[in-house]
Amino acid sequence: ALLELNVMNPFPGDWTGFSDELVRILKEPHFQSLLETHDSVASKNYETPPPSPCSFMDAALNNQPVPPDAVRMVGIRKVSGEHLGVTFRVESGELVIARILHGGMIDQQGLLHVGDIIKEVNGKEVGNDPKVLQEMLKEASGSVVLKILPSYQEPHTARQAFVKCHFDYDPSHDNLIPCKEAGLSFNSGDILQIFNQEDLNWWQACHIEGGSAGLIPSQLLEEKRKAFVKRDLELATTGPLCAGMGGKKKKKMMYLTTKNAEFDRHELRIYEEVAKVPPFRRKTLVLIGAQGVGRRSLKNKLLVSDPQRYGTTIPFTSRKPKVDERDGQMYSFMTRSEMECDIKNGRFLEHGEYDGNLYGTKINSIHEVIETAKICILDVNPQALKVLRTSEFLPYVVFIEAPDFEVLKAMNRSAIESGVVTKQLTDSELKRTVDESERIKRAYGHYFDLCIVNDGLEAAFRSLRLALDKLSTEQQWVPVSWVF
C-alpha cells in the first residue's frame, strides 16, 4: 500500500497521460483488494487453513488420527442376501472400495465412490479383513449405516465397448474370480456391453438384453488362463474380495496365403469388439461344413432360386481342357507355370493339387462377382475364413452342421431311394462326416454368423433363405474393424 502512495505522486509533465491512467487503475476497488491481500499474506496476518481432504486420506492410510468432521455416515436400505455391487481391496491396513459395479445398488445411489475407506457397518468396526466385511454386508438387512472416509477422487468416464464372446463362461466354476456372486455368466456368441476395463484381470459388463452388470475375465486374464501361464492360486489371492460326405472323391484343397503366419499368431480368440450397424447386404456368403454335409447342394439351390441376386466364382485349373469344355464355363484354364506364379504372389484364396493338376479359387474372381452387384457364394475350406472375414469381402458365414449319425444315415438312404445319389455310404464314412463337422465347429466357431443343422435339405434351405432376407431388414452386429 505504501508503494502505491509513492507511485501516485505527481509525474513529470511529459508523462501526464500515462500517469492519469495508472492512477485510475490503482484506485480501482479490485486492485485495492489485491494490494490489501498481498499485505495480509506478507505480514502473515491470517488463520491457519484446515487440512485438505487429501490430508485426511493420507492420515487414515498411515494409521494417524483423522479429524471427526472428515468422516461421513452413509445410509442404505437392503434385504438380507442382496448384493450391493461393490468390491474391496486392502490398502495400508484399511478396507478400500476397489470397484463399483455398473447398475448395482451402490452405483445407482451414488453415495459411495471408488477409493472410499469403510470404517464401520452399523456401528461395528470392520477391521482389515475383507471376508468379515463381506459377511457383515451380506447378512445386514433393513437400514444399513456405513461410516466411511471419503476419497474425494474425481471419477472418470470409462470407454464403453461391445464385444462378441468366443467362449462359454460360468463364474460358479471359476476358481480365480474374487467373488462368484459378482460374476456374469455368458455363452459363446453372446454380445456384452463392457462398462469398465480398468482392472487388468476383471472387466465389468452386462448382456445387451439388459440385466445387472457383473465381472467377467479380461482379455489378458483369459489368454493367460488358456495358455496356462498363471496358476489359479496366484491370481485368486491377489484380486479384491467382494460383498455382495457324398461318396464322391473330392479334390484335396490346401490353405496357402502370404498372410498365413500373421493370422496364425492371433488364433486365440477371446472377445471380439463389435458394432451395431443398420441393415445392409453382405458382399459374400460363405458356406462352411464337413465333406458330404450338403454345402454344394444348398449353394446350387440358392443360385437357381435367384440368379439375379446370387453368383459364384469359376475355379481355375492347370489341366488341359477336354474336347467339349470351353474356357470360363466350368473352369478357367491356365498353364501350370502361370498358376504357380499367381499362387506364389498370393492371388489365390485357396488351391490344391489333384491327379497332378492344380485347382484353385482366385481372389480377383470374387471381386468380379461382387462388381456385378451380386452376392458371391463360396463353399470353401474353413482356413480361407482367415482371409475372407474382412471389410474387403463383408462375408456372412454360415456353418452347415452335420446331424446326428442316425439322422445322417437315414438321409443317405432316402437320397438313394429317390435317385438323388447312387452310392450308399458306409457307417465309417458317415461317422467321419459327423466327427469332421464337430472338429470344424470347435476350431472355427468364432467365425460363424449362423449355424444350420442339415437334417433335411428343404428345411435347411428355408432357414438359410430366411436368415439372408433378415440381413436387409434388421440391424447387425459386425466386427468394429468393418466400421472404423
Per-residue pLDDT of the chain (484 residues; tens, 9 = 90+): 555 555 555 555 555 667 778 778 877 888 888 878 877 777 767 666 655 555 544 554 455 555 555 788 888 887 777 777 777 878 888 888 877 777 677 777 777 888 888 888 888 888 777 777 777 787 777 888 888 888 776 666 667 799 999 999 999 999 998 888 889 999 999 999 998 888 889 999 999 988 888 999 999 999 988 876 444 444 444 444 444 434 444 444 444 444 443 444 446 789 999 999 999 999 999 999 999 899 999 999 999 999 999 999 999 999 999 988 899 889 999 999 999 999 999 999 999 999 999 999 999 999 999 999 999 999 999 999 999 999 999 999 999 999 999 999 988 888 888 777 778 889 999 999 999 999 999 999 999 999 999 999 999 999 999 999 999 999 999 999 998 7
Give the Å distances, CA to CA, from 379 to 94, 196, 348, 395: 61, 40, 15, 12
**Angstrom distance (rounded) from CA 424 to CA 439:** 24
Q: How far apart are CA 251 and CA 254, in angstroms?
A: 10
Half-sphere exposure of residue 168, counting CA atoms within 13 Å on the CB side? 5
Contact 151, 113 (CB under 8 A): yes
* CA pair distance 301, 456, nearest whole angstrom: 14
- Model pTM? 0.67
What pLDDT does residue 1 have?
A: 52
Amino acid at 437: S
Length of the chain: 484
Number of H helices, E strands in the chain: 16, 23
| CA distance linking residue 164 with residue 156, whole number of Å | 25
Domains of the chain: 2-42 (no CATH), 53-149 (2.30.42.10), 279-475 (3.40.50.300)
Q: Residue 208's pLDDT is what?
A: 93
Question: According to the model, what pLDDT value does residue 4 have?
Answer: 54
User: 291 and 400 in contact (C-beta within 8 Å)?
Assistant: no
Residue 413 confidence (pLDDT): 87
Helix or strand or coil: residue 266?
A: coil
Q: Using an 8 Å Cβ cutoff, are 8 and 23 in contact?
A: yes
Which run of H or of E encompasses 124? strand 124-125
